[in-house]
Amino acid sequence: MASIDAARRGQVLKASSAHRVIIDTTVMPKAVAHPTDSQLPERSRQHLVKAASEHDLSLRQNYNRTAPKLAAQIGRYAHARQFKRMHRAVRTLRTRVGRIHREIQRQLHKLPEQAGAKVQELLQRTGRILSQRKQDKNKLYALHAPEVECIAKGKARTPYEFGVKVSVATTFKEGLVVGMRSMPGNPYDGHTLAQALEQVGIVTGSHTMPGTVIVDKGYRGVEIQGVRILRWGQRRGMTRTLRAMIKRRSAIEPAIGHMKMDGWLGRNRLKGVLGDALHAVMCGAGHNLRLILAALRLYCARFRLLLAVVLARLVEHLRSSQPMAL
């Protein structure tokens, strides 16, 4: 809300701009490594061995020498498309991690209550990694971030992204962000529209939903009372003005791109679901501050240009009015 108030004081945002907004969703990637079949068990083994060492738990074998080599060999087999050897190596690595998992599980009663709860949580996450398979749902993609979700993008360069879905709302004309909200659980875009509009009303201070919202085809089948929803591709009841408004929907795409490249929306390093929500809001505020500073730089440049023109005319007037020397 502070960035919106600053934009209003700087005359970058008008009071009527909150009545028409553009809404879209994107993925906010989490700062996690790509979850491969070899990387997740190997990281689980490293954390289990470290926990056993910190709490003086005895292990018959820790596989510190052979497991990293086996994980690297799995990647080589995959690159060479030798999938039978790769699957055999993955089973071997899972078996060795399972041995360490069971040894620590048998010695869990030796630990105090607080340390035992921490190790039990690590064992539970490791058990999920060892038991999950390719076609399972709600899989664990990062040992330290269980809230990470796999979201399909459908693009050739990034078919999948690992993070959380974020709803973005910008003003129709200025392009300022008036709503940024994380949507855990990867919901359907249309089901997030009411929450996004509610946040817009709170952030802008109007406490009412905008009168017009422009969205893409991902929001089909959703109607909200009192809000006119313009969707990309609709034909019924279209006028020249409404077509021009719908074409304006694509203006939100460069805003999302700038937040990912110039801001930190492309790499979330905050922990947990609360960290996802805070990071999304701060990325939107940072984008608004960049727009405000750009508007101030443009204002200063115009002022300098106007001042130079006035000084040039004043000098010319003084030279023309000065009498010529004989």
Going by pLDDT thresholds of 50, 70 and 90, the confidence category of residue 302 is very high
Tell me, what DSSP letter sits at residue 268?
Answer: B
Distances (CA, A) of 283 to 26, 144, 174: 13, 23, 17
Q: What is the pLDDT of residue 231?
A: 92
Q: What is the mean pLDDT of residues 226-247?
A: 89
Instruction: List, in sequence order, every beta strand (DSSP E) within the chain.
Output: 20-29, 149-152, 160-171, 177-183, 212-215, 228-231
| H helix runs in 206-271, sequence order | 240-247, 252-261
Question: Tens digit of pLDDT for each residue in 123-169?
Answer: 999 999 999 988 898 899 999 999 999 998 878 888 899 999 999 99
pTM, rounded to two decimals:
0.87
Q: What is the pLDDT of residue 322?
A: 63
Taking only Cα atoms into account, the Rg of the chain, rounded to an integer number of angstroms, comes to 28
Q: Is the pLDDT of residue 117 over 70?
A: yes
Q: Which two tokens stand for residue 88?
A: 């055999």
Please give the span between the terminal C-alpha atoms of the chain, in angstroms, as a whole number. Answer: 69
What kind and span of H or E run contains 310?
A: helix 272-321
Reduced to 3 states (helix: H, G, I; strand: E, B; else coil), residue 197 is helix
Using a 10 angstrom Cβ sphere, with 0-12 exposed, 13-18 middle and 19 or more buried, the burial of residue 119 is: buried
Q: Is the pLDDT of residue 218 over 60?
A: yes
Q: Is the pLDDT of residue 321 over 80?
A: no
Q: What is the mean pLDDT of the chain?
A: 92
Domain spans of the chain, in order of start: 2-31+148-289, 39-131
Q: What is the mean pLDDT of residues 296-325?
A: 86
